[in-house]
Amino acid sequence: MDVNKIQTALTGRFKNLKISFKSEVQSTNLWAKESLAEGLKDPALFITNHQTSGYGREQRVWESPAGKNILISLVDNPPQNPSFVYQLTLVFGVAQALALSSQFQKLPFQLKWPNDLYLNGKKMGGILVEYPSQFQKVIIGVGININSSQKDFSQDVAKIATSLFEETKTTHILEPLVASILNEYTNWRQIYDTQGLRPIISAWNSLSFITGKKVRVQESPEKSYEGVVLRLDEDGFLILRVDNQEKQVSFGDITIQ
């Protein structure tokens, strides 16, 4: 990964973003937290070729072979109201989907609530937003399968995952994709900071992979229910039709039935 190629392609607020690269780390989010603990005060980007203990929501393992995919963590300022940190998952989701769509206009990049990037019906990436409040910074961890092939995935993951390589049969250069995603994020973050969540929700709904689909919501090992996805509401939560009534979903695992 050539940091300079990313740096020179960045625009706007991140034009002089501090970028750090290591060939291997335990996790880019953990690396970002360590840097905050050591005194980092400004937005920064952490990039690696390989994570030995990459993780996503609920501490699930994130599989990624060395040197093939986008593995980054962005340290940024939280929203003015820190209780809305979760909304940055939606902001970054919209940004990455639109950035990739602008580069690969024939491919249908879509979003699955709350944090997944989908391509042709399979998971291509995920976002993990963490807020170590003692540092007053948010960490946006991103993993996107770019050059992975099916043989790189475990048997279970291969059934549900895809990559840009699998869909195009072409190997792609990572640096311009990282820069494009970050530039798109700065645009949408400015919209979010000045106009609120409404434009984000509108864009997210237009990119939704699950609208109109029947899903199961697993709130806990003991509690689940099914419904049809209608939309995201004004707060960024999922609205389902359950037994002819609308139900708001604010947490839980969503699986398509």
Can you tell me whether residue 193 is helix, strand or coil?
Answer: helix
What is the rounded CA–CA span in Å between residue 238 and residue 242? Answer: 12
**Residue ranges matching CATH 3.30.930.10 in the chain:** 3-206
What is the rounded CA–CA span in Å between residue 255 and residue 224? Answer: 11
**What is the widest separation between alpha-carbon atoms in the chain?**
54
Q: How many CA atoms lie within 13 A of 139 on its CB side?
A: 26
pTM above 0.85, yes or no: yes
C-alpha distances in angstroms, 226 versus 22, 229, 240? Answer: 43, 10, 9
CATH fold, domain 211-256, is SH3 type barrels. (2.30.30)
Q: What pLDDT tens digit does each residue of the chain (257 aa) get? A: 899 999 999 999 999 999 999 999 999 999 999 999 999 999 999 999 998 876 655 556 666 777 799 999 999 999 999 999 999 999 999 999 999 999 999 999 999 999 999 999 999 999 999 999 899 999 999 999 999 998 888 888 878 999 999 999 999 999 999 999 999 999 999 999 999 999 999 999 999 999 999 999 998 889 999 999 999 999 999 999 999 999 999 988 899 98
CB of 254 within 8 A of CB of 216? yes
CATH fold, domain 3-206, is BirA Bifunctional Protein; domain 2 (3.30.930)
Please provide residue 52's backbone torsions phi and psi, each rounded to the nearest 5 degrees. -85, -20
Q: What is the pLDDT of residue 60?
A: 60
Q: What is the pLDDT of residue 59?
A: 55
Closest CA to 89 of 107, 64, 112, 69: 112
Q: What is the pLDDT of residue 57?
A: 52
Task: Transcribe 93-144 into DSSP letters.
Answer: HHHHHHHHHHHSTTS-EEEETTTEEEETTEEEEEEEEE--GGGT-EEEEEEE
Q: What is the pLDDT of residue 150?
A: 87
Q: How many CA atoms lie within 13 A of 67 on its CB side?
A: 3
**Residue ranges matching CATH 2.30.30.100 in the chain:** 211-256
Closest CA to 181 of 192, 193, 170, 189: 189
| DSSP tag of 9 | H
